[in-house]
Amino acid sequence: MTNNNIKIEPCTFEYQCPKTWGKLLETNITSIRFCDSCERNVYLSSSVDEAQSNAGLGRCVAIPVELTSASREKRFKQLIVGIMDPPRKRAKNFHDRKFGGDAIKPIFYGLDGCKAGWFFIGVDEEGEFQFRVLEKFEELGQLLEYAKLILVDMPIGLPWHGQTTRLCDADARKALSPRASSVFSVPARSALTMLSYQEGSQENRRQLNKGLSTQSWAIAPKIKEVDDFMRSVRPGDKVREMHPEVAFWALNGKEVLNHKKKEKAGIDERLSILTRHYPRAKECFLKAREQYLVKEVATDDILDAMVGAVTAMYYPRLSTLPPEPVNDEEGIPMEMVYYSDF
C-alpha cells in the first residue's frame, strides 16, 4: 500500500490500497472481502459514519468515491480501498482522555471492568451522556450523591457453603440458552483472598464443592474490589448487578441475540438494539471508541457499559433474576437486574 492521504470529508485515508474492490477475494459475507496482499479483511462502508466506525476499530475499509468531492469528476461508481485515519487524534497521555461526553451530572450508569480499570457510561435526565475510566472501583463513591441507579457488570453477592449456587446465574443460563456459556460460575468470597489460582481453586472447592475456572480467577481481583466496596460503603439499591447479555436479551424482547459480541455482526446487532432504546447510542459508542485504545478499553467493554446505562434509564421499570433474590451471608442480594415491559 502507498501513502496517499486522500481526502474524504470529514475523514482522511492514511493509506490507499492499489487494489480495487473487484480484485479482493470474496468471503461468505457480501460486505467483507479479503486482501491477499496485506492479509486483512476489508469492510465495505456505505456511509462516512460507517467508515468512521470501522476505522475506529482499526479496519481496512472500502468507501464509494461518490461520497467524496472526486465524485463530480466520475461518471460511474468506484470504491476507494485503504486504511483510514481515526476520526480524530487521541491525546497521548491517558490521564488527558479519561473523561468524555457532555453530561454534567448523570443519574443512570452502566459500569464494566476494563484493562485500564473501570469504564462507565452515564446518562442524565436530558439524555446527554458522559463516559469515564475509573482506576479503582472505590472511586464510584463520588457518583452516589446524584445517581439513581448504577448497574455493574460484575458479580455482586457471592455464594458460600450455605448457598453454593447463585440462583440468578442459573436463571440467566436458562434465559440465554443456547448461549449460556456467557454466564460463568462465581467464586466464593474466601477464594478471592488466595494468592494463586491453585490455592483459589482449592478454597473454592472447600466452600462450594467445585473448583474455579481460569476465567473466573482472571477477574477475581475485580470481583474482590466490588465486594469490598459493597461491604464497606453499603450503597444499598443504588449499585446493583447486571449481566450484559441478559440486559441485551431483555431489551431485544427477551430474544437471544444471534451473534457473539466480539464479532462485527455482534457489534452491529447490539448497537441496533441499543439505538432502539437510546437514539444517541451509536454517537456515544463511536466517541468512546475513538477516545481510548483497545488495550485500555475494549469494544465489548463499551457495549457492556452502555447496555447497563440504557437499562438503568428504565428505572423503576426493572425486574430481577430470580424474581425474589436471595441475600448472601453478608446480606447483599444475589440478583441480576434487567428491563421489564411487564
pLDDT at 3: 34
CA dist 274 and 198 (Å) reads 40
Question: Where does residue 73 rank: exposed (0-12), middle (13-18), buried (19+ CB within 10 A)?
Answer: exposed
- Residue type, position 20, single letter: T
pLDDT at 226: 98
Q: At what angle do helices 264-277 and 281-291 cross, to 10 degrees?
A: 130
> Which ranges of the chain have pLDDT less than 70?
1-16, 65-96, 342
pLDDT at 54: 76
Q: pTM of the full predicted structure? A: 0.75
Are the CB atoms for 332 and 230 separated by under 8 Å? yes
pLDDT at 68: 45
Alpha helices in the chain (DSSP H): 48-56, 167-176, 197-208, 214-218, 220-233, 244-251, 264-277, 281-291, 299-312
Q: For 324-334, what is each residue's pLDDT tens digit?
A: 999 999 999 99
Q: Can you tell me whether residue 59 is helix, strand or coil?
A: coil
CA dist 204 and 226 (Å) reads 18
Q: Can you tell me whether residue 188 is helix, strand or coil?
A: coil
Are the CB atoms for 112 and 133 separated by under 8 Å? no
Are the CB atoms for 246 and 177 separated by under 8 Å? no
Q: For 226-259, what is each residue's pLDDT tens digit?
A: 999 999 999 999 999 999 999 999 999 999 999 9
- Taking residue 57's Cβ as centre, other Cβ atoms within 10 Å add up to 15
